[in-house]
Structure formats: structure tokens, C-alpha cells
Structure 1
């Protein structure tokens, strides 16, 4: 009985041992800087002539796409910037343009943007 009681006390006691935590303060500039870089990288991508041509064939101007980048969440912008970086040269342009088109289409359907005239918002 004493052995069981001692085992239970040791097991409960060990669950309350706190592990040391480490936290550091970061500046606002450091926090915002990474997100600004992602958005700037995406906007530079839209400035390319071949990408602008593909977007315009879908009925989207580069300015409309850049405006949508400004309204993206940080996670969406980071994900799109990562796709641009990892896309293969040449063939990846179509995939990224298609991704942008789908994002714009979904946000139009949800009523967040008004880019395409053929969509009707759900709201």
C-alpha cells in the first residue's frame, strides 16, 4: 500500500514540474518586416510581363491582383510567396497565375472583392 501511495505521489508531483520557458521581445519592425517582404515579392511577380499577360487573359489587371495582395491575410500572402519561390521556372508561372485566379474567384464569390463581373456574391 505504501509503495502504491508513493508511486502515485511521485507521478502527480512530477506533472507539476514546470519546464523552463524562453521568450524574447521582438520589435514591431521585425514582426511586420517579414510580411512586407512577402507582399513586395508577390507584387514584383505581378510586374513581370509574362505574368501580367496571363492575368489579363483571365480578365485581371496586375493592379487588381496587387490590390488583392494588400487585402490578403499574412498567412495567405506567405503561402503565395512560398509557391512563387518553389514553382519551377517557366511552367510554374501558369500554376501561380491559376492560383491567384482561384483566390480572386473565391474572394469574389464570398463577397470580399469585386474583380470578376460573372460572379455573384453569396452575401
Structure 2
């Protein structure tokens, strides 16, 4: 019996230390359900990221980037470092832009409307067809 006690004490210490070591190094696992919306959003973000890579890897876009002193490889690295929200925002903005770039006609119409409104309010006197009220 004495032999068993002498062997049991170091073995029990070893077992306690082993259990302590295992419990300290293993983090607790947290499981949760993944919703369909999260899966769809992740797939959409991946598609948007690929679309951005495709847009910035086109030859004409690369030429414009180089003309402005931007390295296309650095652009690809920055696309990879964007957050999901930034990717979705940038992809949405690219989809909304006109194919030919900024429209000169749109800018001219905007300027005409601003000048017309200021002329109607009496702040300017540019257009002869606007009838101004006489001030006393």
C-alpha cells in the first residue's frame, strides 16, 4: 500500500497539472446560426470586390492611373484592404457613374438654372427675358 501511495501522489500532481494546462490553452468555442442574409451579403461583397479588381485592371484605366502618377499594383493592394462597407459603396458609385464620364451638358444646365434662379430673385440681371419688379 505504501508503494501505491508513493506512486499516486506524483501521478495525481501530473494529472492536475495536465488538466490545468489543457483548460488554460483552449478557448471556449461559440457556435451560432448563420443567417441567409449574412451569406448573401458575403457573396455580394465578394462579387463587388471582383468587379472592382476587373475595373481597375483594364488597360484604359491603368493608363489613366499611370498618367496621374498612381501605381496600379498599389491600387490592387488598396482594393484588397477595403472593408466590406467601403467595397459596396465604391462598387455602387461606379455602377451609377455615366459610361462617358462627366457630362459637360449637365454642368451647363446646372449653371443655367443657378443663374436663372438668381436672376428671378433679383440678385443678378443676366437674362433679358426675366421680368424684374421695380424697387422703390
Scaled by the length of structure 1, what TM-score is found?
Answer: 0.49
Relative contact order higher in (CA < 8 Å, ≥ 6 apart): 1
Scaled by the length of structure 2, what TM-score is found?
Answer: 0.45
